[in-house]
Amino acid sequence: MVNALNAFGMAIGWMDIVGVLFFELIMFYLMRRRRLAKEAADVSIEAPKENQRNSLPSLLSRKNLNESENVWIYWGYLLMLNVWVGITLLMIAGISTNPSL
């Protein structure tokens, strides 16, 4: 039997993992969209600068970071998210195997 505090901790842990996995899917989608946009830009004719809109935040704009730095930021963030999932799984394992509570 699991008491209410352990059940609450496990629910928070599992919801945390679901949220991280959802956010990782968003990150993969953004990386794929940027790659497809870059490939389309390589094929198409260069558009005038005044007609282009900047859909990225200023930190991730191409003026401040080049493409390889953006990729490293994405992959580094995904690595940190996976470490977060591992720590959360350890927390869930600790809650579920603790016989004293």
Q: What does the pLDDT look like over 3-22, one tens digit per residue?
A: 888 888 889 999 999 999 99
What's the pTM? 0.60
Compute the distance between CA of residue 10 and CA of residue 20 in angstroms, rounded to an integer.
15
- In this prediction, residue 48 carries a pLDDT of 53
Q: How confident is the model at residue 100 (pLDDT cuts 50, 70, 90)?
A: low
Residue 91 lies in a domain: yes
- In this prediction, residue 31 carries a pLDDT of 79
Specify the number of domains making up the chain. Answer: 1
Compute the distance between CA of residue 39 and CA of residue 9 in angstroms, rounded to an integer.
45
| Mean pLDDT value of segment 31-59 | 64
Residue 47 lies in a domain: no
Give DSSP secondary structure letters for 40-67.
HHHHSPPPPGGG----S-GGGSTTTS-H
Where do the H-state alpha helices sit in 1-101? 4-43, 67-97
- In this prediction, residue 76 carries a pLDDT of 85
Residue 93 lies in a domain: yes
DSSP state of 3: -
Residue 8 lies in a domain: yes
| Mean pLDDT value of segment 18-47 | 79
* 14 token code pair: 């599992």
Q: Residue 27's domain spans which residues?
A: 4-41+58-97
Compute the distance between CA of residue 49 and CA of residue 36 in angstroms, rounded to an integer.
20
